[in-house]
Amino acid sequence: MSDNQKTASIGDVRAACRQFAMLYFQFCRTLVETVGEEAALKAVQKTIFRLGLDRTDGARSRADTQGLEKNLENFSTVNDLPSIAWSAWNPSMGGVKCPYAETWLGYFAEFPWFKRFSSFYCDVIDTTNIENFSRTTSCRITKNLLLGALDCEWEYFESEKVKAGVFTYGEREKS
């Protein structure tokens, strides 16, 4: 693949991420307008938590198929996020590293309430992803682009609560 093709591919993936980011904003906006900010935040938390479970149930299955241990080190191997949108990005491409943040930052001036919802997405999805995938590990974001940092960083840690099946942002529904 030529450099031009690679750059175009990264741009295409980031454009798809932009569509997701726009959908998330409009989903939050509609909820806030319909039920108010606090009720909307609760509904958003439940939705993102379910998304995290859905995604990482698939990742757990892929790990089983590949004979991989379900730990932090193997998560990126079976994760379904198009990592090229983040990992292959460089400053010459413009914008910021995270394609979601690049889109969401544009909403803050007109919709200041959304700053809370955008960073909340990252908190809930990243935490739920590793908790459900590993069933031993949790995380917290220590730096977030959406809150003024130059990049995002996470701190991962073993969690007795997670080992006991208690996740930070919700509980698995009984089938």
pLDDT (0 to 100) of residue 87: 75
The pTM (predicted TM-score) of the whole model is 0.91
Token couple for 136:
């031993």
- Phi, psi for 47 (deg, rounded to 5): -65, -45
Written as tens digits, the pLDDT of the chain (175 aa) is 777 887 788 889 999 999 999 999 999 999 999 999 999 999 999 999 999 999 999 999 999 999 999 999 999 999 988 887 877 767 766 678 899 999 999 999 999 999 999 999 999 999 999 999 999 999 999 999 999 888 899 999 999 999 999 999 999 877 6
Judge contact between 156 and 139, C-beta under 8 A.
Answer: yes
- Please provide the DSSP assignment of 47-116 as one string: HHHHHHHHHHHHHHHHHHHHT---SHHHHHHH--S-THHHHT--GGG-S-S-HHHHHHGGGTTT-TTHHH
